[in-house]
Each structure stands twice: as structure tokens, then as C-alpha cells.
């Protein structure tokens, strides 16, 4: 996939030296921004060396990247992620030992934010408080997460983002390349879509952006080549107290391209599902990465009543019919989901679901769900909290139905508040329903 790229760096209005650096390697599909730190020009050395080492390490893996581009598989994708993490750590070790040999460079290090574009996938890797933003369909999403003292305080709820802007600890980062011999690298794999615009920038740039809406307006500009200069001018006009670097990537096309529409729609559907409603865009992307697509012919069963199951289903296209004891209960259409409790409950399926016409479903398995829970502590907390809310809503609905407040119990075909393991009727595990925002499906 073709990518247009432009970059610019500026010393700013207060610093004497520019310790930022950027890298564009269109042939490899590698783009990166680094913000060095350390006295006696050590920051400049750290940022430049990290970019060079990462580039050299990934060039060695060009055959792997070409193999993935020709035939992408989960195994090759995971291997590329490992190689990216290793490249960062080779750079960290090199910079660390360089500092150990020269006392004047002791403590030098650098932030490093990178995108590696392979076919229609991007491999993002990030350490420090430089950032990666995505502009897509008129909205801006921050894909990286700052490794900084203030960001940690915000996540813990100890300060607000507004208070963070006034804090004297704005330059304190908790993770950098080269400060220690190894470093933990944040990674994310996602689809690059026609019309996407990406911004990789140092904190001297993003620290002067007042809101994501403002950034969205800038990044939505038609002249991509002019964007780095425009962003640097904005930062300098608002103080320019640090070095400023902006690197822009833009993919030709627009969000109306069928490939873009499909991915955007999947993420939009995930966002509307109660289980995922508290997740950030980046976290939704991680959930989407764990899903698979399945197609069903008319009359083909999706799940059978009484069978064991471990998958959660979301209808992307077509309709399914829900039956219990051979009796039709309801019909579900696009955007509706069912079976989410199977992600945490091993009880038998409470109803049969069959495709009414050609149907396409997005599925999330229990194994993939557990992988997310183990690997992402913050995401895990959000998911578990959402499960509590879903169960609370269902129990309340059931209680109201039993007390005669909601009318016909037939409208609640799969709700059994306290099922016995191994017995029929585990309503909590598979009750098909739409999000509160949806209509037409049982709730």
C-alpha cells in the first residue's frame, strides 16, 4: 500500500540544541520519531543512534516482512512484533553501554515512537512520551500511551488532565530507550486504511495542542506536505519551549473505500456493545485483532441448544433466528450480539441460533478473551466492570419479569438468574440481545 510521508524538526524558541530526530524509510515502510535526553549533546546522540539501530535491525528482517506481505498469518504477525521489540532493545543496550563508557553521557536516553507499515498492516512500537496519532474519518485517536509520571497519575485518578497541564513534572518520563539495558516496549498492530493520516511527534509538539478536535481540524487539511510546517509553527507560536518534531503519513483515498468502511464499521459496532463501551479506540483495536470472521449459509446452525460453546458472536451481515425447544423466539439482525457470557461461563448453550440467510459473523473466543485479560491489565479491569454491569442489568430485568412488571416472560427466553452447572437453561450465558442503542432485538 502506498504511503506519502513528510517530516520536519525545529529547535524551538528556547533550546540551543535540537535533540529530536526522525526517520523516513519508504522502501522499508519504517517511520519514527525520537526525542533524546542527556547533557553534553548526549540527547542528540541517543536519538540519532536509536533510529539508526532500529532501522539496521529491521532491514535484516526484510525477508520476513516480504513473506508477511505476500501471505499474512497470525504466526508471522507475532514474529514481526517480537522482532520490533528486539530492535528496540538492541538500541537500548547499545545506548546504555555507550553511556557506561563515557561519564559525560551517563543517563542519556531517548523516547522512540515508530510505525512499520507492511502491506495493509501497521506495527506500532512506542517508548516514552512522544506520540502516535491517527486521523480517520474526521476524528483523531491517540494510539500511543505516554510513559510519564503525569500520565500514570491521570490513569490512577489522582490528577485531572487539566491539572497535569499545570504540573511542574511535565518532563518526567518513566520509560526510555537506553536508560537501562533493556526496555519494555508497547506494541500495537492495526489496519491501515485508505484516507488515514498519522502524526508521529515529540512532546514539544503535542504539548501545545489544546484538544483533539483542534488536531483533527489540522490533520484533516488537504495539503499533507504542509502539515509538519503548520504544526511546528503552531507550537512555536504558543511558546516553543522544547524541540519540535512532526512526521506525517498519509494513505491515498478516503474513508468511503470499501476496505475502510468494513473496518470502521466493525470498530463502531464493537464500541456500541455494552461489554466494550468503556474501551478506548486503541483498546477496541486490540479486541478487533482477536476476532475472526465466519460465514454461514441459510439454515446453517451457529450454535445448538445444550451444546458447549466458548465464543461470543456479533452479526455483521444477514439475520439469525433464535429457537428454544424447537420453538422460534426471535430474529436478530446486523449489529446485534449474542453469547458473550460463554467467554467466562462453561455452561451449555441455552438456545439454538441458525442463519436465516447468508450471514457474516464476527467471533471472539474464550481463549482470545483470556489473552486480552492477561496481557492488558487496564483493559481487563474495564471488561470485568462491564460484565458486572451486564449481569446486574439482566438480574434486575429478570426480577422485574418474575414480579409481573414486564409482562410476558416469553420475551425473556434465556434468562435464568442462578443456573445449575450442567443443567439446561443457563440464560446468563447466551441471552441474545442488542445494545441499548440498538432496536429490534430482545434486551
DSSP letter string, 292-360: EEEEE-TT-EEE-TT----EEEEEEES-EEEEETTEEEEEE-TT-EE-GGGGT--SPPSSEEEESSSEE
Mean pLDDT of 7-20: 96
- Above 70 in pLDDT, residue 391? yes
Confidence tier at 436 by pLDDT (50, 70, 90): very low
Mean pLDDT of 93-103: 93
Mean pLDDT of 13-22: 95
Mean pLDDT of 270-297: 93
Do 4-254 and 259-430 agree at the fold level?
Answer: no
Confidence tier at 262 by pLDDT (50, 70, 90): very high
- Above 70 in pLDDT, residue 420? no
- Above 90 in pLDDT, residue 352? yes
CATH 3.30.70.660 fits 4-254, yes or no: no
Chain segment 195-226, per-residue pLDDT in tens: 999 999 999 999 999 889 999 999 999 899 99
- Above 60 in pLDDT, residue 239? yes
Instruction: State the greatest distance between any 2 C-alpha atoms of the chain, in Å, as a whole number.
Output: 79
> In the structure grid, which three cell numbers stand for residue 21, read together?
530526530
> Quick one: which of 301, 340, 303, 297 has its CA closest to 433?
340
Domain boundary assignment for the chain: 4-254, 259-430
User: What pLDDT is attached to residue 404?
Assistant: 65
User: What pLDDT is attached to residue 418?
Assistant: 35
- Above 60 in pLDDT, residue 438? no
User: What pLDDT is attached to residue 46?
Assistant: 96
Q: What are phi and psi of 173, to 5 degrees?
A: -105, 155
- Provide the 8-state DSSP code for 180: S
The enclosing H or E element of 393 equals helix 377-402
Beta-sheet pairing, 327-332 with 359-365? unpaired
- The C-alpha angle with vertex 399 and arms to 398 and 401, in degrees rounded to 5, equals 65
- Above 70 in pLDDT, residue 363? yes
Mean pLDDT of 91-113: 93
- The C-alpha angle with vertex 11 and arms to 6 and 14, in degrees rounded to 5, equals 145
- Write out the CATH class of domain 259-430: mainly beta
User: What pLDDT is attached to residue 409?
Assistant: 46
Mean pLDDT of 292-305: 95
Amino acid at each position: 500500500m502506498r504511503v506519502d510521508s513528510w517530516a520536519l524538526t525545529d529547535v524551538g524558541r528556547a533550546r540551543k540544541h535540537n535533540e529530536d530526530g526522525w526517520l523516513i524509510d519508504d522502501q522499508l515502510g519504517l517511520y519514527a520519531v525520537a526525542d533524546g535526553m542527556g547533557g553534553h549533546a548526549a540527547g542528540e546522540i541517543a536519538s540519532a543512534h536509536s533510529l539508526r539501530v532500529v532501522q539496521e535491525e529491521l532491514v535484516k528482517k526484510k525477508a520476513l516482512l516480504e513473506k508477511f506481505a505476500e501471505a499474512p498469518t497470525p504466526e508471522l504477525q507475532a514474529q514481526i512484533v517480537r522482532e520490533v521489540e528486539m530492535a528496540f532493545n538492541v538500541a537500548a543496550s547499545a545506548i546504555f553501554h555507550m553511556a557506561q563508557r563515557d561519564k559525560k553521557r551517563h543517563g542519556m536516553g531517548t523516547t522512540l515512537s515508530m510505525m512499520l507499515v507492511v502491506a495493509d498492516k501497521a506495527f506500532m512500537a512506542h517508548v516514552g512520551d512522544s506520540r502516535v496519532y491517527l486521523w480517520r474519518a474526521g476524528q483523531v485517536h491517540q494510539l500511543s500511551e505516554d510513559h510519564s509520571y503525569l500520565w500514570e497519575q491521570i490513569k490512577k485518578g489522582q490528577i485531572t488532565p487539566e491539572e497535569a497541564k499545570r504540573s511542574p513534572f511535565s518532563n518526567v518520563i518513566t520509560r526510555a530507550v537506553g536508560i537501562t539495558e533493556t526496555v519494555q516496549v508497547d506494541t500495537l498492530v492495526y489496519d491501515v486504511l485508505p484516507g488515514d493520516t498519522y502524526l508521529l511527534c515529540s512532546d514539544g509538539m503535542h504539548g501545545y495542542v489544546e484538544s483533539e478536535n483542534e488536531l483533527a481540524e489540522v490533520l484533516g487539511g488537504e495539503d499533507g506536505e504542509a502539515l509538519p510546517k503548520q504544526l511546528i509553527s503552531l507550537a512555536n507560536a504558543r511558546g516553543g519551549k522544547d524541540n519540535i518534531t512532526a512526521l506525517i503519513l498519509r494513505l491515498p483515498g478516503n474513508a468511503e473505500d470499501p476496505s475502510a468502511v468494513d473496518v470502521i464499521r466493525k470498530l463502531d459496532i464493537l464500541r456500541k456493545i455494552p461489554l466494550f463501551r468503556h474501551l478506548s479506540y486503541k483498546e477496541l483495536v486490540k479486541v478487533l485483532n482477536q476476532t475472526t470472521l465466519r460465514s454461514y449459509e441459510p439454515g446453517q446452525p451457529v450454535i445448538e441448544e445444550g451444546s458447549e460453546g466458548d465464543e461470543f458472536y456479533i452479526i455483521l451481515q444477514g439475520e439469525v433466528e433464535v429457537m428454544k425447544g424447537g420453538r422460534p423466539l426471535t430474529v436478530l439482525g446486523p449489529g446485534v450480539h449474542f453469547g458473550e457470557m460463554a467467554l467466562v461461563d462453561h455452561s451449555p448453550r441455552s438456545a439454538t441460533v441458525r442463519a436465516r440467510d447468508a450471514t457474516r459473523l464476527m467471533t471472539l473466543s474464550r481463549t482470545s478473551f483470556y489473552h486480552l485479560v492477561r496481557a492488558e491489565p487496564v483493559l481487563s479491569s474495564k471488561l470485568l466492570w462491564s460484565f458486572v454491569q451486564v449481569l446486574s442489568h439482566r438480574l434486575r430485568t429478570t426480577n422485574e419479569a418474575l414480579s409481573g412488571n414486564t409482562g410476558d416472560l416469553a420475551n425473556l427466553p434465556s434468562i435464568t438468574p442462578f443456573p445449575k452447572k450442567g443443567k439446561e437453561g443457563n440464560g446468563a450465558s447466551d441471552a441474545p440481545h442488542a445494545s441499548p442503542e440498538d432496536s429490534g432485538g430482545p434486551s
